[in-house]
Structures are given as structure tokens and as C-alpha cells.
Amino acid sequence: RFQRRNRPCRYDIDQFMPSFMSIFESLVPSDEEISKQKQLLTALSRLINKEWPNAKLYLYGSCANSFGFSNSDIDLCLSIDDKEMSKVDIILKLADILHAGNLQNIQALTRARVPIVKLKDPNTGLSCDICVNNLLAVVNTKLLRDYSQIDKRLRQLAFIVKHWAKSRCVNETYRGTLSSYAYVIMCIHLLQLRGILPCLQEMDPTYYVTVDNNTCAYFDQVDKLNSYGAQNKDTVSKLLWTFFHYWAYQHDYTKDAISIRTGRIISKHMKDWTRRVGNDRHLICIEDPFETSHDLGRVVDKRSIWTLREEFERAANILQYDPNPSVTLFEPY
Ligand code: CTP
Ligand code: MG
């Protein structure tokens, strides 16, 4: 049903830059919102440290990786070294601490795949989820933020792709489509192939951490790389076209996996991702940069892969032919 094809980009793609940029601007959180997030982090840290002096609370996910929209929920991770308590016990005790601290709508979700406490802060109006000892997420948050500092086109492209995915309902992992985290990785990968971003994990490392026996190391002095992509003059409109073209018409779903760890396309065969194992079907393969056995596409099933590919094709065709792509692309599903 899906054909691979190479077609040249429409000649007038850049005329849509102002409209795509104004969509981007409209989604960026304000400075006021960012300072409210910091305020909440400080208040919660103070409350938690009274009970657990050695625990540390980290922001992760979209409010810390620079790919967050305005009004998004806040993801927090509590790092605590307590051999006596299980994760569930920690979650329950955390919920008690928060109750005493005058926070609202507190729910301890102890049976979720990743157990969390949900809450709402009446002072800032912000809602947040707190997980426990998920430090790999804190580290991959830093990797994404570091990539976004190198070339501003990454953040712009990823915002527009995430906005498209949310408008078209293909950003719902519980229904077999991809996480925001996966879409950002897809954008980084494309910019690596275009020579706009380097591969930080292939450079001499300046940052090292060991998390659950996993060594994470990469070059993180990104202020030294801020002219890295300058020789490539592609606009964000052009990159958007390239992104959807790649996923609609060029990616080889049977043989290829994308990997920002190597900055290359790698073979599914080498990863042993060619057949279904348990619930992991590997129908679209996106390697996690640190947990390399983890395929971010594993949530995709034999029905949702068609939904996704049809949406990639729709987007590619709109960017190629539609007179108003910056409107049509985001029409609600
Ligand atoms: N994460 C992860 N592995 C996944 C999915 C998510 O490690 N398979 C971590 C990442 O650190 C990511 C964070 O969880 O930054 C939040 O993931 P997600 O909700 O997909 O992304 P957000 O950036 O929070 O996007 P949104 O704006 O949609 O909330
Ligand atoms: Mg989130």
C-alpha cells in the first residue's frame, strides 16, 4: 500500500515560514510560567527535605528538556536512596508528606507501570506527577535540552511536529502511537542526517553518569557547538517537509531503526528487532539513546502502525500540495 518515492520539494515551501513560526511562538511557555515551575520545585523540595534530608527532587520531561508547550503538566522525579523502603512505600509516604503540605488532588498511583503521585498546587495552579528514582529520564532530559541549544531549528521543528501529533491524535502511547519523547528523538535524528546537529554520544565525553549500571556519557559543552549546523541553510518549513517525507516515503520499516546514539540509521537485524517478542512488535524502530535495548516504537501495534503511516503520508502530501499547509496540517482528527 505504501510506496517509496523521491520527489523534489515544492519550490515555494519557504513562503509558509511566517505562519509556522507564529504557531511555534504561540506554543512557547512564558517566562512567568517558567518561574512558577521553579517556584513549585523549590516549595516541594523544601517540604520533602524536612522528612528526607538526603532526597533530591528533579524536573524532567517537557518542562526541563525545552520541548514543553505552555500549560503543560510538570514531571518531577524524586531521587532517594533508601534500601528499607520499596518504591510503593516511598510513593505512599510521599503522598502523606504532600497532604500535610497543603497540596490538592493528591493521588498515589501505585499500580501504574511507573508508580507516581499526582497533585495540584493551589498557589501556582500547576499540576504535576512525581515519580521515584527514574534517573535515566533525568539524564535523557538533559541530553534533549543540550541538543536544543546547538541549533534553534530543532526546538522549532519539534514544537511543530508535537503540535501536529497532538492535533491528529497520534501522540497517545496508550492507544499505540508515539510519545512526545519519541517524536523529539525523530527530529534530532533527522537533523543529524542533515548535518545540522552532531552526534554528542560519539564525541569525546565531558559528562558521565552511571544510572542502574548503565553508563551515560557524551559531550555536553554545547556552547562550543553553536555554529555547528550553520552551513546547512534549510528553513524549518523545508525540514518539516523533509521530516514527513522521510517517514511517509523513505524510511524502510522492514529493515531500518533510527539511532541518535550513533547519528545513523542502523539495522533492525543487528538489534534483533525483526520479529515480535512478547508485546514488542518493532513495527517502527526508534532506539533509546541510553537504554539501547529499548525501542521507543514498541508501543506501536499492527493497527496503529497504519494510522501513523497514513498520518505521515497525509502530512507529507499537505506540505507538498496544500495552499494552506500551516492550517490544514493541524486540522483536528
Ligand atoms: N521518557 C522516557 N522513555 C519513554 C518516554 C518518556 O525516558 N519511553 C521520559 C523522558 O525523559 C521524557 C519524559 O519521560 O522527557 C516525559 O515524556 P513524554 O510525556 O513523552 O514527553 P514530554 O516531553 O513530557 O511531552 P508532553 O509535552 O507531551 O508532556
Ligand atoms: Mg509530559
For residue 132, give the CATH number of its domain: 3.30.460.10
Q: Are 273 and 285 in contact (CB under 8 A)?
A: yes
Task: Give the range of the structural domain holding residue 62, as residue numbers without chain letter.
Answer: 31-136
pLDDT tens string 104-145: 999 999 998 889 999 999 999 999 999 999 999 999 999 999
Q: What ipTM does the predicted assembly reach?
A: 0.98
pLDDT band, very low/low/confident/very high, at 73 (cuts 50, 70, 90): very high
Instruction: Work out how many domains the chain is built from and give that number.
Output: 2
Ligand 1 pocket, CB under 6 A: 60-62, 65, 67-69, 72, 75, 137, 140-141, 179-181, 296
Taking the centre of ligand 1 as the mean of its atom positions, its distance from the CA of residue 75, in whole angstroms, is 9
Q: Is position 153 within any domain?
A: yes
Taking the centre of ligand 1 as the mean of its atom positions, its distance from the CA of residue 14, in whole angstroms, is 31
User: Nearest bound ligand to CA 162?
Assistant: 1
pLDDT tens string 25-36: 999 999 999 999
User: Nearest bound ligand to CA 68?
Assistant: 1
- Burial string for 84-114 (b: 16+ CB within 10 Å, else e) reads eeebeebbebbbebbeebebeebebebeeee
Residue 138 Cα: closest atom of ligand 1: 11
Q: Tell me, what's the pLDDT at 3?
A: 84
Q: Is position 306 within any domain?
A: yes
Closest protein CA for atom 9 of ligand 1:
137
Q: Are residues 48 and 148 in the same domain?
A: no
Final residue of a domain: which of 93, 121, 136?
136
Residue 294 Cα: closest atom of ligand 1: 8
Taking the centre of ligand 2 as the mean of its atom positions, its distance from the CA of residue 133, in whole angstroms, is 17
- Residue 283, classified by CB atoms within 10 Å of its CB into exposed (0-12), middle (13-18) or buried (19+), is buried
Q: Are residues 90 and 225 in the same domain?
A: no
- Residue 332, classified by CB atoms within 10 Å of its CB into exposed (0-12), middle (13-18) or buried (19+), is exposed
Final residue of a domain: which of 136, 163, 185?
136
pLDDT tens string 163-205: 999 999 999 999 999 999 999 999 999 999 999 999 999 999 9
Q: Which of 127, 166, 179, 295 for a ligand 1 pocket mutation test, highest count of atoms within 8 Å of Cβ?
A: 179
241: CB partners within 8 A, 6+ apart: 9, 10, 13, 316, 319, 320
Final residue of a domain: which of 115, 136, 157?
136
Closest protein CA for atom 6 of ligand 1:
181
CA 115 to chain centre: 20
Residue 134 Cα: closest atom of ligand 1: 7
Q: Are residues 196 and 263 in the same domain?
A: yes
Q: Tell me, what's the pLDDT at 214?
A: 87
Q: Tell me, what's the pLDDT at 19?
A: 98
Q: Are residues 125 and 163 in the same domain?
A: no
Q: Which of 161, 180, 293 for a ligand 1 pocket mutation test, highest count of atoms within 8 Å of Cβ?
A: 180
Q: Are residues 282 and 165 in the same domain?
A: yes
Q: Are residues 192 and 324 in the same domain?
A: yes
Q: Is position 156 within any domain?
A: yes
